[in-house]
Amino acid sequence: MKRKIESQLLAWKEKETGRMPLILGGARQIGKTYILREFGRAHFKNTAYLNLETNQKMVEYFQDGIVPERLLRYISALTGERILPGQTLIILDEIQACERALTALKYFCEQMPAYHIAASGSLLGVAVNRQNYSFPVGRVASLTLHPFDFEEYLWAKGEDELAAEIRQHFAAMTPMPQELDEKAAALYREYLLVGGMPASILQFLQTGSYPETAAIGREILENYTADMAKYATAAETVQIRSCYSAIPAQLTAKRAPSPAQQFGGSISWLKFAGIVLESRQLRLPLAPAEAQVIPAQDRLYFSDVGLLAARAGITPAALAPENGGVAGQLLAQNYLAQQFDAQGYPLYFWQGRFGQAAPFLLQRETGMAAILPEPGSRYQAARLAALCKKYPALQPYCFCSRNFTQEKGLACLPMYAAFCL
pLDDT at 136: 84
pLDDT in tens, 288-298: 999 999 998 89
pLDDT in tens, 133-191: 667 889 999 999 999 999 999 999 999 999 999 999 999 999 999 999 999 999 999 99
* CATH class of the structural domain 5-144: alpha beta
pLDDT at 137: 83
pLDDT at 16: 86
Q: What is the mean pLDDT of residues 303-315?
A: 97
pLDDT at 132: 55
Q: What is the mean pLDDT of residues 335-341?
A: 98
pLDDT in tens, 398-417: 998 899 998 777 889 999 99
Output the CA–CA distances (angstroms, integers) from residue 136 to 37, 90, 211, in the order listed.
24, 18, 44
Task: Tell me the pLDDT band of 119, cut-offs 50, 70 and 90.
Answer: very high
Greater confidence (198 vs 63) lies with 198
Domain boundaries, the chain: 5-144, 150-420
Task: Tell me the pLDDT band of 337, cut-offs 50, 70 and 90.
Answer: very high
Most distant CA pair in the chain, distance: 69
Task: Tell me the pLDDT band of 378, cut-offs 50, 70 and 90.
Answer: low
Q: Using an 8 Å Cβ cutoff, are 285 and 358 in contact?
A: yes
pLDDT at 90: 98
pLDDT at 129: 59
Greater confidence (62 vs 137) lies with 62
Task: Tell me the pLDDT band of 387, cut-offs 50, 70 and 90.
Answer: confident
Task: Tell me the pLDDT band of 106, cut-offs 50, 70 and 90.
Answer: very high
pLDDT at 71 over 90: yes
Q: Using an 8 Å Cβ cutoff, are 196 and 418 in contact?
A: no
pLDDT at 377 over 60: no
pLDDT at 26: 94
Lowest mean pLDDT among 92-101, 266-275, 335-344, 406-415: 406-415
Lowest mean pLDDT among 81-85, 98-102, 375-379: 375-379
Q: What is the mean pLDDT of residues 206-224?
A: 97
Q: What is the mean pLDDT of residues 311-323?
A: 86
pLDDT at 84 over 80: yes
Q: Any residues with CB less than 8 A from the CB of 128 and at least 6 apart, and which? A: 96, 135, 272
pLDDT at 206: 98
pLDDT in tens, 239-275: 999 999 999 988 887 777 788 778 888 898 999 899 9
pLDDT at 379: 59
Q: What is the mean pLDDT of residues 70-82?
A: 96
pLDDT at 410: 82
pLDDT at 385: 77
Task: Tell me the pLDDT band of 209, cut-offs 50, 70 and 90.
Answer: very high
Lowest mean pLDDT among 21-25, 340-344, 366-370: 366-370
Task: Tell me the pLDDT band of 122, cut-offs 50, 70 and 90.
Answer: confident
Name beta bridge partners: 349: 281
Write down the mean pLDDT value for the chain: 91
Share of the chain above pLDDT 90, in %: 71
Q: Any residues with CB less than 8 A from the CB of 118 and at least 6 apart, and which? A: 21, 22, 23, 24, 36, 39, 89, 90, 91, 92
